[in-house]
Structure 1
Amino acid sequence: MPQERPNDLFQELSEKLGNLLRPHEKSGTDSLADDPDNPVVLPGDAGNDGNNDGDAAAAPSPEDRAESERVAREVSKNVDTSGEEEALEDEGPRPLPILARLRARGLFEDDWRARPTADRPYPVVCVHGTGTTKGDWMELGHDLREDGYAVFAPDFGNRATDTIAESASQIGAYIDTVLQVTGAEQVILIGHSQGGTLCRYWMRLLGGAPKVRHLVSLAVPNHGTTLGGIVSPLVRTSMAENIMNSLVSSWFGDSGFEQVAGHATIAAINEGGDLDPGVTYTCIATRGDTVIQPPETCFLYPDKAELADGTVDELETDRVHNIWVQDLHPRAVILHADLPQDERVRRIIRDELAMVE
């Protein structure tokens, strides 16, 4: 029955996290398993059958068991399970990643009557991050509409858990629709987290750059995050990163690993330089970001020719402004997920857009 699903999900998550903490049987073919400095715990490994020739790793501590239960409980109580029972019975599409099942916050609706003006000639398209919805733009969208902009925001890619290529293609079709409806030739894009990666993928690999006047990159892993960064909100103990690898897809979907430094997607959006011709940029980062690690990877840089004239530096050029929120608000403690709603960040974005010509 529907009311039982949160408890079922809690039990499922708790069991999966518990599996990750169980000892991993040593194997002669697993070199890492023989390395005491790099113990490997594999998901679904129920331990040995009593015939293990080697010494099993220590059993999970009470603290680790409590941590797995805390994570499971915290997620399961926030998961929207409405309509899930029918999908399970039909054995239809695979279940959505966990982040895509969390309750959305905020509400933002497109107004397709909105049109650019002489003072605000570029429509603004806001692109949300992994596991969220366009509701993240409720406050900023209201601000920008008050400033006279025509503001739009898509939902896409199973809440941005599909592959980067799939979500970027959907966003590109949406932007083309905005341009057609409004009669504008270019847009201003604002992307938070994966949303900025999607914008850059569409601009660089799908030919969208000529349609963009300015890109606001809000805590975007432009040069990739570490795996520890992407999973750090899920754990509060010192559990090794490698035991979380198998959970990344469950939490973040197909796009999870694509945002890790060194992935081919990150390499592709930066090949030939960070910046696309004719586009100006604002990159905003917070030193309190625990998801994008290190947070400096959020910044974009001009090519050597632009830096060679000696009148600009890497943080502020004619084409890109790299901004630490704490440089303007030294006492600000702003987490990754809170950037789109934070009043100080919204003020920075509004001031930056006011300078777009």
Structure 2
Amino acid sequence: MILLHGTGQVKGIWEALGSELREDGWAVFAPDFGHRATDPLNESIDMLAAYIGAVLHSTGAKRAIIVGHSQGGLLATLISMRLAHQVKHVVCLAAPNHGTNLGGIASGLTKIPGTRYLLSNFVQSYWGTSGLEQLTGSKMVLSSEDHDVLAPGVTYTCIATKFDQLIKPTHSCFLDDGGQGMVDNFYVQDRFPQAVILHEQMAHDWRIRALTREALFRLVDEPFNANEALT
């Protein structure tokens, strides 16, 4: 089990989920990478691909499960396409798989006329090169026609929140497998209708942790209901 943090974050965001997953019996690894995930995405992908190989070698496992929040989820998706033989399942938490628009990543500045150039500079200075690479239309994110590029043999769980203030549109997280049954897309509010969960809370909110564990228990045919989990 490999946990990937988002842009500007570090592995510490996984403290609660990591502890629960270890109690569930998973071998959990959570690397820091890419100078708080601000480096170019391809550099982080190369580093994480090597890391995954090292984890598989040291544990003797044949394939890894990757859980990623925000950029970490996008990286998990891209890595699964490159290393399908080493990845079993991907959980994306508010991941910009199809990118986010500038109104999402810097929403407070979009009300000022003629600010696209300033917004791009702001994004790069605050989130690094990886920030620009996560915008809709970047060659690093998936297009709406990319349902056929998902890795064969890999399954995906994509969880978004309707209150995401950074990933716009919020359904950017969802993947399209062309009806092959590889992907489970849903909003946390589909299961917890009253939940007001922001983008940055998606890595540690108890309901997201419960839904993540539920998806992982399903992989090993063990019963677990997120709606019955304790806070």
CA distance in 1, matches of 2:213, 2:134: 27
Report the equivalent of 2:225. none
Code of the aligned partner of 1:238: K
CA distance in 1, matches of 2:102, 2:185: 24
Compare CA radii of gyration and give the structure with the larger one: 1
Match of 1:319 among 167, 175, 182: 182
Code of the aligned partner of 1:247: F
Give matches, 1:12-161, under 5 Å: 124-161=1-38
Distance change (3 Å), C-alpha of 1:163 and 1:270:
farther
Distance change (3 Å), C-alpha of 1:267 and 1:339:
closer
Report the equivalent of 1:184. 61
Report the equivalent of 1:356. 219
CA distance in 2, matches of 1:168, 1:237: 31
Distance change (3 Å), C-alpha of 1:237 and 1:335:
same
Q: Secondary structure at the match of 1:137?
A: helix
Report the equivalent of 1:238. 111
Is the contact between residue 225 and residue 293 of structure 1 (CA under 8 Å) also seen in structure 2?
yes
Displacement of 1:269: 11
Distance change (3 Å), C-alpha of 1:270 and 1:135:
farther
Query: % of aligned pairs identical?
Result: 47
Gap regions ≥5 residues in structure 1? 1-123, 307-317
Report the equivalent of 2:92. 217
Report the equivalent of 2:228. none
CA distance in 2, matches of 1:273, 1:165: 21
Report the equivalent of 1:264. 139
Any idea what the Cα deviations from partners look like across 1:115-151, whole Å, max 9, x if unmatched?
Answer: xxxxxxxxx0000000100001000000101111100
Is the contact between residue 179 and residue 187 of structure 1 (CA under 8 Å) also seen in structure 2?
yes
Report the equivalent of 2:210. 347
Match of 2:45 among 164, 168, 181: 168
Report the equivalent of 2:162. 287
Code of the aligned partner of 2:202: L
Q: Secondary structure at the match of 2:91?
A: strand
Distance change (3 Å), C-alpha of 1:270 and 1:149:
farther
CA distance in 2, matches of 1:237, 1:340: 27
Match of 2:125 among 250, 255, 266: 250
Match of 1:208 among 83, 87, 106: 83
Displacement of 1:283: 0.2
Any idea what the Cα deviations from partners look like across 1:272-304, whole Å, max 9, x if unmatched?
Answer: 625210001100000000100010111011125
Is the contact between residue 192 and residue 340 of structure 1 (CA under 8 Å) also seen in structure 2?
yes
Does the alignment pair 1:275 with 2:150?
yes
Report the equivalent of 1:38. none
Provide TM-score, normalisation by structure 1: 0.58
Q: Secondary structure at the match of 1:177?
A: helix
Code of the aligned partner of 1:278: G
Report the equivalent of 1:18. none
Q: Secondary structure at the match of 2:140?
A: helix
Segments of 4+ in structure 1 off by > 3 A?
267-272
Does the alignment pair 1:196 with 2:76?
no
- The number of residues matched between the two structures is 218
Distance change (3 Å), C-alpha of 1:270 and 1:186:
farther
Structure of greater relative contact order (alpha carbons < 8 Å, 6+ residues apart): 2
CA distance in 2, matches of 1:356, 1:202: 20
CA distance in 2, matches of 1:147, 1:335: 26
Is the contact between residue 165 and residue 201 of structure 1 (CA under 8 Å) also seen in structure 2?
no
CA distance in 2, matches of 1:342, 1:172: 28
Task: Give the alignment's Cα RMSD to 1 decimal.
Answer: 1.8
